[in-house]
Amino acid sequence: MRTLKITVSYDGTNYSGWQRQRNAPSVQQTLEEAWQTITGETLTITGSGRTDAGVHARGQVCSLVTQSKLDCSSLLRAVNANSPTDVSILSAVEAPADFNAISHAVQKTYQYYIQSGRIMDPLKERYAWFVSHHLDLDAMREGAAYLVGELDFKSFQAAGSTRLSTVRNVIACDVAMAKRGPFEDVTVTITANGFLYNMVRNIVGTLVPIGRQRKPPDWIQWVLDQKDRKIAGQTAPAHGLFMDHVVYRDDDLG
């Protein structure tokens, strides 16, 4: 038996999310079926995070245990050849026997894309939330600063979630803007030791009213203090969210 670490990129538009669903296609199912076609094995591929329907990934990290004798390069090529073009394995490496993509992760980074301004870029429609207003970047950055640290993010957890603890350590929360002619590309990048369900999308949906100058930057602190999802901003649409990369405690895994 061998344990492998694979890194996967996917366009989440046509999927119900990472995790297998009974009546809808998922990324996990797509990869597991491709693997079975090649090796004959029925196995579980464990993803570092269960991205939701419509969410994309640049660097979703997965672990699996296989009996296949094929080398990593051959497996990578074969799985990609038997997968849809919107899912690709970027790398496959041998890992220690106990490697687990979820429990061994120490940091995750997500990026959320907003296309702001008065004119929508049609080429960004599938990958960014169009906000038809100019956004105050400095105000959003000031608001984002309140989110850095080991804090209780209960106000930013999706209603109905049942996590035992809602405390997470946000290492960085950065807001950047690039202008392209009439278009304004805003990127919110958040790195943390872990995330609650819909936490990033709820944070972005709370930063946008600050960018529109409807709320002051210190509203973020008040929202944190209330520990109540109902008083935070909206949940930003799924299609603007990308799982960017995952950091592991075992650096030798690549």
DSSP-derived secondary structure for 188-237: EEEEES---TTHHHHHHHHHHHHHTTSS-TTHHHHHHHHT-GGGS-PPPP
Active site residue 218: no
Please say whether the beta carbons of 86 and 13 come within 8 A: yes
Beta strands in the chain (DSSP E): 2-10, 46-47, 56-66, 87-95, 105-116, 129-131, 149-152, 167-180, 183-192, 241-248
Please say whether the beta carbons of 222 and 249 come within 8 A: no
Q: Angle between the 137-145 and 219-226 helix axes, to the nearest 10 degrees? A: 40
User: Residue 109's CB: how many other CB atoms inside 10 A?
Assistant: 19
Closest CA to 54 of 86, 22, 77: 86
Q: In whole angstroms, give the CA distance from residue 45 to residue 28.
A: 7
Which one of the listed residues 52, 152, 228, 244 is annotated catalytic?
A: 52
Task: List residues with catalytic annotation.
Answer: 52
